[in-house]
Structure 1
Amino acid sequence: MKEIVVISGKGGTGKTSITASLAVLAGNNIVVADCDVDAADMHLLLNPDFAYAEDFYSGQVSIIHQDLCIACGKCLEVCRFEAVLVNNNAYSIDTISCEGCGYCSKVCPVNAIENLPRLSGKWFISNIKTGSKMVHAQLDIGADNSGKLVAKVKNEAKALAEKETRDYIIVDGSPGIGCPVVSSLSGANFVVFVIEPTVSGLHDLKRVYQVVKKFNIKAGCIINKADLNLQKTNEIKVYLNDEKIIHLCDLPYDENFTKAMVNGMTIVEYHQGELQNIINQIWEKIKSLV
């Protein structure tokens, strides 16, 4: 079983659209893992049925038991996150602002404050339109520990792939270089960068590749909308050659990409043309490389 992770240095490069297209081409021989938990959107293209759902708890949050509280104000004095609210002399906790440090519960003279596991989101196992399965998740608004939720999604995807003897796991990673990206890369066999030919695109490629190098993972790059800025495309190719990153392909700008998304489809389903042929070649090349 091989794990392929698709990432980008920033959002909006076409990463998820391309990942979903690869998933469609792979058919039922894969498990898909949507690890972009902060802004998950692969479900818009793969039609999951959310067959299994489970709450995800991470960190802690404080609550004040009103029947025990004597309104002494000690919790308000020590909270450095402005999470303690007062309304008509009744004290409560703003769960979004609370960092779960538990200091307020330590100073409460009547033990009216309790720290509880924080509900941070949900994760799902779904049947998708390709006949395969997808593990995905949704982080709650204002919740942290997205790296831990990514790890949960990846571990469940691996277990599912092993159970159903699938050859590949395709992971849609988070944009950027933060904790969710690091968590996405753990255990990967091959990384695909999706980059646009812009000043920021080349800069972001350099940043995210520095992260990938720490993992010593073989990597390839797709330059999306490559024909919009040929000078910058050539600069990216020079960087790929210098760093020995495999240049997987150039994708031309094509409005059918957007039309496919509007119709809830991947480009390989929507349009029988150049893009479909190129992405099919990408998938065959990735399989040969891993």
Structure 2
Amino acid sequence: MARTIEDLRNATARAEQAAQAAGFASLAEATNALLSDDDLARLSEEITRWHEQRLVLAARLDQPDLKNAAAQPPADLEHAVADLEKATTAHSSATAAETQATDRVAAPAVDHVHGLTSGGSLSNRLRMQLESYVLAARLEDVVEAANTRLTRMSHHRFTLVHSDERAARGAKSGLGLKVLDTWNGHQRHTDTLSGGESFYVSLSLALGLADVVTAEAGGQALDTLFIDEGFGTLDDDTLHQVLDSLRDHDRTVGVISHVAEMRRRITQRLHVRKSPVGSTLVHVTDAAE
């Protein structure tokens, strides 16, 4: 028994020395630090992974490019920061210059488009405004419709021609009209027409416009058209041609005129009778008063 006790004391003393050598203050502290089998297994796995990762990193560090990089002198961080600041400033200046250049390029482009649409640009050879350009396309349709009547009214002498010549003295271009005179084969300006010729040319344009509006309104007809004066400028033959042309279409045309010949040619008339107490309308259906 005495020997067993002595062995225990010796073992305890050795254990305390081992605990102190391991950095523990006492054997009890070392005993409390003992790990379970599960904890030891987990630590063993972590140690194994650490060794594997160490081998991978060691192999990577052994690559020539990393060895060359490691052999370089240490980086001058202060100098690198200064270079970064300079580069940032240069980049900001370049970005601002690019923005200004883009704005300058955009401004001439806008000015150029505005000049084209307003007719003020040198690139717009005809000085034709965008509005006039659109109206010119419609005017061509009106001229085509008007010529079907003008040919007859003028005894096949006149034909309207759309002109996009540049107008003088700042007038709008693209909406000009000329008259082709088949008697001499030349185009005439409309201001060279006589009073009667101007009247039935204008009348043809009005009727042509009505036809174009009807076509673009889905076939909804302009059933009634009133014409105020102008018939007194026509000779008898032309007056006859004009009235026949007006009768050839499914449209009611009312004419306002004081020409006596009109009374004979138009059977349905409204006469305005003036008196001191006011004016009255008289419906006349015969061919003469």
Q: Shorter-chain-normalised TM-score: which range?
A: under 0.3
Q: TM-score, normalised by structure 1?
A: 0.27
Q: TM-score, normalised by structure 2?
A: 0.27
Structure with greater helix share of residues: 2
Tell which has more relative contact order, 1 or 2 (C-alpha 8 A, sep 6+): 1
